[in-house]
Amino acid sequence: MILKDKVIIVTGGSGLIGKAILEDICKKGGLAINADINVQSDLEKKVINVDITNQESIVDAINQINKYFGKIDGLVNNAYPRTKDWGAKFEDISFTSWQENVDIQMNSTFYFCQQALAVMTNQSFGSIVNIGSIYGVVGNDFTLYEDYGGTSPAAYAAIKGGIINLTRYLASYYGPHNIRINCVSPGGILDEKNQHPSFISKYNRKVPMRRMGSPDDIAPAVSFMLSDEAKYITGQNLIVDGGWTTI
Hey, which residues are catalytic here? Answer: 156
**How far, in Å, CA of 37 to CA of 158, rounded?**
24
User: If you ran DSSP here, which 8-state letter would residue 30 be given?
Assistant: -
Q: Amino acid letter at 70? A: G
Q: Amino acid letter at 230? A: A
Instruction: Provide the CB-side half-sphere exposure for 141 (13 A, CA).
Output: 16
* Cβ neighbours, 10 Å, residue 81: 17
Say if residues 33 and 46 touch (Cβ distance below 8 Å). yes
* Cβ neighbours, 10 Å, residue 176: 9
Burial class (CB in 10 A: 0-12, 13-18, 19+), 70: exposed
- Residue 31 sits at φ, ψ, to 5 deg, of -105, 95
Helix (H) or strand (E) holding 111: helix 108-123
- List the one residue out of 217, 206, 215, 214 whose CA is nearest residue 245: 206
User: If you ran DSSP here, which 8-state letter would residue 72 be given?
Assistant: -
